[in-house]
Amino acid sequence: MTERLPRSVQEYLDQLRDALRDADPALRQDALYDAEEYLRAELNGKSDQPESEVIARIVRSYGAPEEVAAVYRQTEETVSRAMRTPPPRERRSVMGRFFGVYADPRAYASLFYMVLALATGIFYFTWTVAGISISLGTSVLIFGLPIFLLFLGSTRLFSLLEGRIVETFLGVRMPRRPEYPSDDRGIVGRIMEMLKDVRTWSTMLYMLLMLPLGIGYFTLAVTTVSTSLALIVSPLAYFGVTRFDLDIHFFYWNGDYRDFGSLEFVFIPLAGFLMLTAAMHLFRGIGVLQGHIARGLLVRPGRD
């Protein structure tokens, strides 16, 4: 238990933040949001009572900051263990590790994220550019500031949406709740806090980056998968062409066209299979990289 019980909401949050100082930043943000929401809901309508007395009663029912921190850690571990994708069977040989990527669900999830990133990237980029343009264009008008603030708030919401996508497909822990809009600072204080928050601007940078990243991810995924599959099924395509006597040739070699030879029936599909296997490793690595990018730009390490 804490030697000195908190006497205000801010003291409770400070102690809870300190108890979770070595926890995952996303978990810490969720815990602080839940605690502040609960505390202020309990204080609502009790303005005639001293805040210290109300907080003391809340501590007895809700729990001291250390107790709440311990519960969140335990719950996070339990939920993470339940939602964690079963790891593929560990393989010791080089060949086993190379071809074992097909048994790793993370590779397929990363591939799906790469394909989806084109759509999300276009939307995020368009929304951010349009929001910045409209905000700048209306900055000289009286309603320009509210439009700009609404735009900033929308980027926070989309960062939570992207966090859910990243956590679902890439397995990276992201915040599930926003930071609580504290009323202590007033409207002007909250606006200044949002403008000074580096995550406000890093979120917009992430939204802009997602267009080139999404295009690159989508192009790489579609190109490598389609090329690999075309090489793998090329003998079947050849048999289909010869079956219907179509005048189609498959290779251009030494200035002349020629059809499949006996070696090509073996080595070309094998090359396609090896290419697809290497691409699956690449997709899994890109998923890890994208998770680090999302964590770095969308999650703030702490809240001062």
Does 264 score more than 80 pLDDT? no
> Averaging pLDDT over each range in 43-57, 134-148, 224-238, 270-284, which range is the top one?
270-284
pTM for this entry: 0.78
Angstrom distance (rounded) from CA 84 to CA 188: 42
> What pairs with residue 252 in β-bridges?
257
In this structure, of 89-93, 137-141, 283-287, the range with the lowest mean pLDDT score is: 89-93
pLDDT value of residue 245: 46
Please state the domain extents for the chain.
9-83, 91-304
- By CB atoms closer than 10 A (0-12, 13-18, 19+), residue 215 is middle
Tell me how far apart the alpha carbons of residues 134 and 168 are, in angstroms, rounded to a whole number.
33
pLDDT digits (tens, 9 = 90+) for 107-166: 999 999 999 999 999 999 999 999 999 999 988 888 888 899 899 989 989 999 999 999
Residue 13 CA to residue 229 CA, distance in Å, equals: 55
The CA distance from 35 to 39, in Å, is 6
Averaged pLDDT for residues 89-102: 81
CA distance 238 to 225: 20
Q: Which two tokens stand for residue 25?
A: 């930043």
Of 222 and 27, the one with more pLDDT:
222
Identify the weakest region by mean pLDDT among 20-24, 157-161, 237-241, 297-301: 237-241
